[in-house]
Amino acid sequence: MRKLKFIDLFAGLGGFHLALHELGHSCVFASEINEDLRVLYKTNHGISCNGDINVVDVKKEIPKHDIICAGFPCQPFSKAGKQNGLEDENNGNFFDRIMEIANYHNPEYIYLKNVPNLESHDDGNTWQYIYNKLSIKYDVKKQILSPHKFGIPQHRSRIYIVCRLKKKGGLVDFKFPEGEFKGMLSIKSIIEKKPKEYTGIKPSSLNHIKVWQEFLSNLKSEEVPRFRWERFNHFYLCTMLKKKKEFSLQSLTQNTQYIIRKLAA
């Protein structure tokens, strides 16, 4: 297999990095705006991440590469957000930044990832804009995939966009893998009973819990706020009314470890 060089934009914890590194390819540049994630990226992969991609000098700071990897921010397109799309003042311009880098460096491949709603957002106009930009030089294919169809106990559908320069042969022979759900997968089989670096509950959080308990103690049982549990595609999901998206997301985020272990019990 030919050894390639890649750049990892909006790198997060480095999912793209891990996959490509295991295939023998090397990362020559990474960018992640979140400082905590940059620290973890350095710990996990031994490479220092640059910060905000918008302030990076495309010509001087980004070296020559064969692949652009970019799981660009999904908030503008996610159903859980405001869906401002490409017009989002904070995150809407990142695709154009990716194209600026691609147009200057002309990498052979571009790998993109986002939420499935990217495809249908704004009646398909958002995807059409992205496709039109990419297809000037690249052959483009897309597919919605989820880990639970590939032996991983997580239901997380994402749209994956694979591009290759037309002058290099395009994607004539490329096919996305075909996953298949083969029954319930066990979360319990892959998580530890207790995190190795478990630190307990912060005093401030304990105070919040006490106040919340006092509030609950003064309510009748039918008045107590609660999650609504339901089954969906063989997985338990914790959902709330659509009008309460922000509260639902916050609750799930703050209780992720508890919920996962509860489901695995």
Instruction: Return the active site residues.
Output: 74
CA distances, 183 to each of 150, 151, 177, 180 (Å): 11, 9, 18, 9
Q: Is the dihedral of CA 134, 140, 143, 145 positive or negative?
A: negative
Kindly state the tokens that stand for 88: 């989002």
Please check whether residue 44 is in contact with residue 19, taking contact to mean a CB–CB distance below 8 angstroms. Answer: no
User: In whole angstroms, what is the distance from residue 82 CA to residue 251 CA?
Assistant: 19
Kindly state the tokens that stand for 251: 């609750």
User: In whole angstroms, what is the distance from residue 58 CA to residue 51 CA?
Assistant: 13
